[in-house]
A = this chain, B = another copy of it.
Amino acid sequence: MQQLKERILREGKNLGNGILKVDGFINHQVDPALMDVCGQEFARRFRPIGATKVLTAEISGIAPALTTAFHLGVPVVYARKHKPITMPDQVFLTLSPSHTKGRMVELIVSPEYLSGGERVLIIDDFLASGATILGLVRLAQTAGAQVVGIGALIEKSFEGGRQALAHLGVPIESLAVIRSMEGDRFIFDD
């Protein structure tokens, strides 16, 4: 999506070690108009798959998942990384390695809001190694739900996430695919 790519070119910062800083419009400060346009675009691409729920991981997935769910007219569930006291004792929990934290994090969903028969669209801010998204896939599958699509705002195609998710056989859509980052020179696919 041209608008997102231009924003990355203008404001993205390569911090090295594969870390792309987009804190000015996605990860700390958020541009709500851009997120809305991205949500519209995800909704357009995924409408045919008939998702009944959007699933994401806190924290940075929430904004694009919310706007996508809004434009699809379905609820969104965000997996928590710490179990709040409002959640029942029996939960779906999986561990996922966090690239930016350098350790395993928990991903937790309450069985109250994810169940068998759901058609789940996973939306996240980044598709890098695919580890977080695979964690969300495990949660959905444990709940008996079917993952029907995966969307990311930004894919770093050089980290292999798309290959790691290919066995799922579902459409994978990224709005900006970065093939390489050298210094602050970003090369996009197409």
Contact = CB atoms under 8 A, between A and B. Distances in A.
Contact of A75 (B31, B62, B70): B31
B76 A32 contact: yes
A69 B113 contact: no
Given A28-B80, A29-B76, A32-B70, A23 B62 contact: no
Nearest to A59: B58
Interface residues of A, number: 39
Contact of A78 (B19, B30, B31, B33): B30
Given A58-B58, A58-B59, A113-B28, A19 B85 contact: yes
Report the copy number of this chain in the oligomer.
Answer: 2
B75 A30 contact: yes
Contacts of A19: 85-86
A15 interface: yes
A73 interface: yes
B32 A75 contact: yes
A107 interface: no
Interface in A12-58: 15, 19, 21, 23-25, 27-33, 35-36, 58
Interface string A118-148: 0000000000000000000000000000000
Contacts of A30: 62, 66, 69, 75-78
